[in-house]
């Protein structure tokens, strides 16, 4: 067996590694390494299979890669009974070395079934495709990525070997040419910056950008009007581990919850005895908010927000980590008519002291654009 560089997995879906066990009466010992130089031995095990190849589920090893967009190289090597790693020299029997990559994120079982039925996989169909929407957004897998202008964030994708172009009115305004080492690394295009730069270079304000490769049209990025004027947003890591942003129509209700009273014992000098005292309670701040009228497909995007493990409330440019829940009946309403979805936003941090609320007007002097963290995380912004 030789080296195979072509195997890719998603951390959020089963990672099944084929281990060559050597045949009916033998077992295969194997080791898994991670890191750019495969320096970290993360697992060592033994597999048996009468057919000679055992599929070993190592999904748990890559659990921590699930939520933050990126590509993580790994290697599986079979080892002989003396613990000596076989190398790919083509002469030793039973040698096997498998290099593979684990990409952050995951896809639904429903989409997995659809891709199997289409005889393809998520890498050919989307992530490495040169003729479809390859961006790491869960707004849509379709050809038209619609983003309100106040929800723009850099759009992530995985670097590809093929060139692509950002087109405006049929002309290629930007060419993204793969340079050495960017294939399969996390990259991003900052559409807001591109839009602003075209004012200087082309004297135009543009709201539609077409993405094409040398061989095909991929998708369009359509910037729409903001749904409402607001200083409140939710930013979350989507199913690909990439940041998304949703505007919310203000923070309308403040409904804190309080822990039960806890007693402490103190010494009382007057009566020379111990007495009970109340300890300050802990409060969890919670707000309710509306995300505005959403179509059926936009409500699917809200479900990705609810599934996220990292959600941040941006209020007047300041960020607070929160948990989100929603009124399910409105969210899963199958009507094609837009429905206004209500969310409950609960702060992760509890408080024992009271200060002004984030909805107080004095915070409005803060500017969203100067304070909000709109970086692309670990991605290189190529435009």
Residue 145 C-alpha from the chain's centroid: 17
- Any contact of residue 204 with another protein (CB under 8 A)? yes
Q: Which of 88, 149, 249, 351 binds another protein (CB under 8 A)?
A: 149
295 makes contact with another protein (CB under 8 A) = yes
Q: Which CB atom, from 141 or from 295, has the smaller least distance to another protein? A: 295
CB neighbours (10 Å) of residue 288?
A: 17
38, 43, 86, 228: which one contacts another protein (CB under 8 A)?
Answer: 228
Q: Name beta bridge partners: 268.
A: 273
CB of 370 to another protein, least distance (A): 12
Question: Which of these, 209, 131, 196, lies nearest to 167 by C-alpha position?
Answer: 209
317 touches another protein (CB under 8 A) = no
The verdict on 335 binding another protein (CB under 8 A) reads no
Q: Looking at 27-35, 217-225, 231-239, 322-330, which segment touches another protein (CB under 8 A)? A: 217-225
366 binding another protein? (CB under 8 A): no
Answer positive or negative: Cα dihedral of 375, 297, 299, 150: positive
Bridge-based pairing of strands 164-168 and 97-103 is unpaired
Residue 116 or 199 having the CB closest to another protein: 199
Three-state DSSP at 80 gives: coil
User: What residues are paired with 350 via a beta bridge?
Assistant: 284
Q: Which ranges in 248-327 belong to alpha helices (H)? A: 296-307
Provide the pairing of β-strand 217-224 with 144-148: parallel
Residue indicated by tokens 């879906």: 13
Phi and psi (nearest 5°) for 196? -70, -40
Q: Select the residue interacting with another protein from 29, 195, 245, 299 (CB under 8 A).
A: 195
Say whether 319 sits in a helix, a strand or coil: strand
Contact 223, 190 (CB under 8 A): no
Q: Count residues binding another protein (CB under 8 A).
A: 26
Query: Which pair of tokens denotes residue 139?
Result: 């707004």
Task: Note whether 351 and 283 are within 8 A (CB).
Answer: yes
List the one residue from 41, 92, 208, 275 that touches another protein (CB under 8 A): 208
Contacts of 93 (CB under 8 A, 6+ apart): none
Minimum gap (Å) between residue 255 Cβ and another protein = 29
Unique residue bearing structure tokens 């040398």: 214
**Torsion, Cα of 189, 191, 195, 200 (10° steps):** -20
Q: Pick the stretch among 109-117, 219-227, 250-258, 342-350 that binds another protein (CB under 8 A).
A: 219-227
Q: How far apart are CA 321 and CA 334, in angstroms?
A: 30
250 binds another protein (CB under 8 A): no
CB of 292 to another protein, least distance (A): 12
Among 54, 71, 74, 223, binds another protein (CB under 8 A): 223
C-beta closer to another protein: residue 172 or 208: 208
Residue 340 in contact with another protein, rule: CB under 8 A: no
CA separation for the pair 19, 21 (Å, rounded) = 6
Return the range that interacts with another protein (CB under 8 A); candidates 3-11, 27-35, 139-147, 352-360. 139-147
Which of 223/324 has CB closer to another protein?
223
Of 205 and 264, the one with the shorter C-beta distance to another protein is 205
Shortest distance, position 296 Cβ to another protein, whole Å: 9
Kindly state the smallest distance separating residue 197's Cβ from another protein, in Å.
11
List the one residue from 89, 179, 229, 370 that touches another protein (CB under 8 A): 229
* Nearest to another protein of 199, 371 (CB atom): 199
- Figure out which of the listed residues 7, 111, 115, 146 binds another protein, where binding follows CB under 8 A: 146
Which one of 70-78, 140-148, 281-289, 346-354 is the stretch in contact with another protein (CB under 8 A)? 140-148
Distance CA 100, CA 89 (A): 19
- Residue ranges binding another protein (CB under 8 A): 143-144, 146, 149-150, 195-196, 199-200, 203-208, 220, 222-226, 228-229, 295, 336, 338
């Amino acid at each position: 067996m030789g080296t195979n560089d072509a195997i890719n997995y998603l951390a959020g879906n089963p990672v099944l590694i084929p281990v060559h066990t050597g045949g009916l009466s033998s077992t295969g010992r194997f080791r898994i390494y991670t890191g750019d130089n495969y320096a970290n031995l993360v697992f060592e095990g033994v597999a048996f299979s009468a057919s000679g190849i055992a599929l070993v589920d190592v999904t748990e090893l890559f659990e921590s890669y699930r939520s933050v967009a990126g590509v993580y190289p790994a290697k599986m090597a079979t080892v002989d009974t003396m613990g000596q790693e076989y190398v790919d020299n083509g002469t030793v029997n039973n040698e096997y070395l498998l290099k593979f990559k684990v990409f952050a994120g995951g896809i639904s079982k429903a989409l997995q079934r659809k891709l199997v039925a289409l005889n393809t996989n998520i890498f050919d169909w989307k992530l490495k495709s040169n003729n479809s929407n390859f961006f790491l957004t869960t707004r849509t897998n379709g050809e038209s990525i619609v983003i309100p202008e106040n929800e723009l964030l850099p759009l992530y994708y995985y670097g590809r070997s093929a060139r692509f172009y950002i087109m405006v009115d049929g002309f290629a305004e930007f060419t993204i040419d793969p340079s050495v080492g960017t294939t399969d690394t996390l990259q991003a295009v900052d559409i807001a910056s591109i839009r602003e730069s075209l004012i200087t270079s082309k004297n135009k304000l543009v709201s539609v950008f077409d993405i094409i490769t040398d061989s095909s049209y991929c998708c369009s990025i359509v910037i729409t009007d903001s749904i409402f004027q607001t200083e409140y947003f939710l930013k979350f890591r989507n199913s690909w581990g990439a940041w998304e942003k949703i505007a919310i129509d203000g923070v309308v209700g403040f409904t804190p919850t309080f822990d039960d009273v806890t007693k402490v014992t103190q010494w009382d000098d007057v009566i020379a005895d111990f007495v009970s005292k109340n300890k300050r309670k802990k409060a969890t701040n919670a707000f309710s908010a509306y995300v505005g009228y959403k179509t059926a497909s936009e409500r699917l995007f809200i479900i990705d927000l609810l599934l996220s493990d990292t959600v941040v409330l941006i209020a007047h440019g300041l960020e607070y980590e929160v948990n989100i829940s929603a009124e399910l009946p409105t969210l899963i309403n199958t009507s094609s008519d837009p429905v206004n979805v209500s969310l409950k936003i609960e702060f992760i941090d509890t408080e024992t002291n009271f200060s002004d609320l984030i909805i107080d007007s004095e915070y409005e002097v803060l500017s969203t654009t100067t304070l909000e963290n709109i970086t692309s995380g670990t991605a290189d912004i190529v435009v």
